[in-house]
Amino acid sequence: MTEQHEQRTPWHRFERGTDGPKVIVVGVDGSESSLRAAAYAGGLARRQHALLAVVYVQPVLAAGAALGAPVAETTDEIAEDLIQQIREAAERVKGIFEVRWEFHTFRGDPYNGLVKAADELKADAVVVGASEQAGHRIIGSVAVRLVKAGRWPVTVVP
């Protein structure tokens, strides 16, 4: 009777290596919460043998540029600093933890930049840090907007 039961309910069989995300997108901006999100996403990627796509969204601040502020140079420096931090972290765990990762830069506001990144990179999951700005509790954070979009599983790391 057990054999018949197994034939009628094949979905109960365990399949190794066929489930789980293939691409995990994590948004980083240099804040403590985004770096914690990157560490968490790195652990997920390692355990799932997924690609970790680290995404920095460079803000486009037309007003700052109009006032003569070197906005593009500043955001490029932030991106370079983030890449350096990620490389150093990867080097520290080399040989202990192996994670495939890529760094991507998109321009725009954080929400639309992460949506574009997740779409273009065919993300199976998105990880972001919790907002550290008090105003976001009232008007909504990037994380809340991503969750409400309902297009990917979203993990918010405190």
Position 67 scores a pLDDT of 52
Query: How far is it, in rounded angstroms, from Cα 154 to Cα 145?
Result: 10
77-115 residue pLDDT tens: 776 777 777 777 666 655 666 788 888 888 888 999 999
Section 17-35 average pLDDT: 84
Position 14 scores a pLDDT of 47
Query: How far is it, in rounded angstroms, from Cα 111 to Cα 94?
Result: 32
Position 119 scores a pLDDT of 95
Query: pLDDT-based confidence at 71, cuts 50/70/90?
Result: low
How does the average pLDDT of the chain come out, rounded?
77
N-to-C CA span, the chain: 50
Q: Is the pLDDT of residue 11 over 60?
A: no
Query: How far is it, in rounded angstroms, from Cα 22 to Cα 13?
Result: 22
Position 20 scores a pLDDT of 75
Section 32-52 average pLDDT: 91
Query: pLDDT-based confidence at 154, cuts 50/70/90?
Result: very high
Query: How far is it, in rounded angstroms, from Cα 7 to Cα 42?
Result: 39
pTM, entire model: 0.72
Position 62 scores a pLDDT of 54
Query: How far is it, in rounded angstroms, from Cα 121 to Cα 2?
Result: 44
